[in-house]
Structure 1
Amino acid sequence: MSKYKIIATAAMGLESLVAKEVRALGYECVVDNGKVIFDGDERAIARCNMWLRTADRIKVVVGEFKAFTFDELFEKTKALPWEQYLPEDAEFPVTGKSVKSKLFSVSDCQAIVKKAVVERMKKHYKRNTWFDENGALYKIEVALLKDVVTITIDASGRGLHKRGYRSDQGEAPLKETLAAALIMLTNWYPDKPFIDPFCGSGTIPIEAALIGQNIAPGFNREFVSEGWNWIPQSTWDDVRNEAEDLAKYDQPLEIQGSDIDHRMVKIAGENAFEAGLGDLIKFKQMQVRDISTPQQYGVIVGNPPYGERIGEKKEVEKMYREMGQAFAKLDTWSIYILTSHEGFEQLYGKPATKKRKLFNGFIKTDFYQYWGPKPPRKSDEN
């Protein structure tokens, strides 16, 4: 097996979580803005696609170099060993981006990289004509940052947040990758009760169930690199078998999702069923002020409305006050709330134990963490 330089891209603020996941899979890595970089073989590419819950996508680095002119970009791209990655019938569109670089015209950079790859391929495959590009997809990206060019091939295809279970969603859906990150930032373990009081289309409870039963997030979907000729089908079979072996389908879970909108509750149930978790998660229509439970030492994770739209703010602020009153009764529970509302703590009626800055799409938010007491040890209860 060959060694490759691999990038797992990450939303701003989630890089350390992605790095933790990469290391848990057995790969040493370096953290950078928006990405985690590590070395691995073909199996690593497959396993990271299959297992990373918080990464956006997996990319394979073909080359990295400085370029200040279009001639330099062309020659250095052409010098890369494209024949090791692209078969003769490969479909290889080129996308691009440029930040603080002399070569700022993205369309020109894309065209030059495409031409350079074609020239290299013509020489290797001994042909004078253009390529048909009717085979597997190898999506090339040329990214320029401060005159450093990084050329990658996307190994995921659809973003890793596309788990394959969300058949329908609400107006402001939370990405599955961010939902998983919120859960991983809590003190929840599968033996604790879990509630999402603003479940929407069910993303947070479903991700909690996947984490609780150690089900690989990519188990029910396909990846573009499954069509690549240099990653054997046997590698993908092994990685899927590993995911099946490591899943804990018999792990009991107490997960509940509720929402004020009965339509969203129905959609959440359908999505959970699509994920194969229909019997594990209880969904019900309920207002947050009505939430109560006799259970102890549980975890609440919520992504409530932020009140960003005109006319919504007062209603949302009233709901935050009601939330604070309802949750005050759950004195052994840990509460975690994501919102962009800067006055949340005052409305909730209590300062957070800790806050963490996160981005929900382009919205700057805070993850307010209220840590409950540690449960007594089993021996102390006896």
Structure 2
Amino acid sequence: MKTIHLAVFPADGIGPEVIAASRQVLRKLEQLHAGVRFECREFDWSSAYYHQTGAMMPPDGLQQLEAGGFDAILMGPVGSPTIPDHITLWGLLLAIRQGFDQYVNLRPMRLLPGVASPLRNAAQHPINMVCVRENSEGEYAGVGGRVHQGKAREVALQTTVFTRSITERVMRFAFDYAQQHGHQLVTNVTKSNSMQYNMVFWDEVFEQVAAQYPAQATDQQLVDSMTARMVSQPETVELFVASNLFGDILSDLGAALTGSMGLAPSANLNPERQYPSLFQAIHGSAFSLVGKNVANPIASIWSVQLMLAFLGETELAAQLMVAIETVLREQRVRTPDLGGRNSTTDMTEAVCQALEAASAPARPR
């Protein structure tokens, strides 16, 4: 029996609902595969915890997670309309990303069969993109400050930080991932025409790393024109590597192009596995949907699929991806974000049924 130890954060808004759906899928996988067990320890660190304690997590939160021996972290969305977003983000999610050196944010964006894209001619422009986003510094390094607050000469500074070793490693990850998964083209997203220091440095490092992968095709795109390319020619985009801010924005655009933010997963990876990696749907906490049982759980369930793949559970990951694809392709169950009237519960049960069907032995003919 193999036991996978998970730290689970229901977090905020619809988080408890989509995380409950993800745990139901994990239980179904346990039933279908007797050799694996998921041991989950739930943490209540969240916006509600902040209202109780004045912090998003305890002062020794990272130490607790590190000492827990967790293989991975499964997290719901973080954020509340009653707390400024920078407090919730820096108090929990970014604290874990940076503290556990989760320097790769991996976001697949794929238009799955059965899902409608807002693009007019989506059938002519297949979408299967991957964003490799630098996740530990860049625009979100947290360097800066404010002086003369409230006065006419007030100044606010937010400094972008690129470190050579950190920039190199995320680009090397992008090239290795492209080779491992059959992506023919790696695109460097930049803005070096106007940002003449940090993004020129970024481009130089990309060229130096690319030289170590001579068989890999590459190109370069300014971030503003990359948005137009993703909309008008998404079939020309395979894998792109981008800074923290650019990757954040572009992957949200990609999620919208693939039909719904409710379908968009992510993985925050420490590839060296020195610390546990974190898996989370990229949609927000959506407080307007809380308690209505209408949130699409696929983004969180797909994040579980990314987690299984990262942990080396390739068979389970493949079966779960097939189940997700089957449910969406058949179009019998559709949550409101996909134009339907089904519930979170309906979608979760449909995925579990698809897993069961895929695992059933073939009938003799």
TM above 0.5, yes or no, is no
Higher relative contact order (CA 8 A, sep 6+): 2
| TM-score normalised per structure 2 | 0.31
- Structure number having the greater helix percentage: 2
Please tell me whether Structure 1 or Structure 2 has the larger radius of gyration of its CA atoms. Answer: 1
| TM-score normalised per structure 1 | 0.30
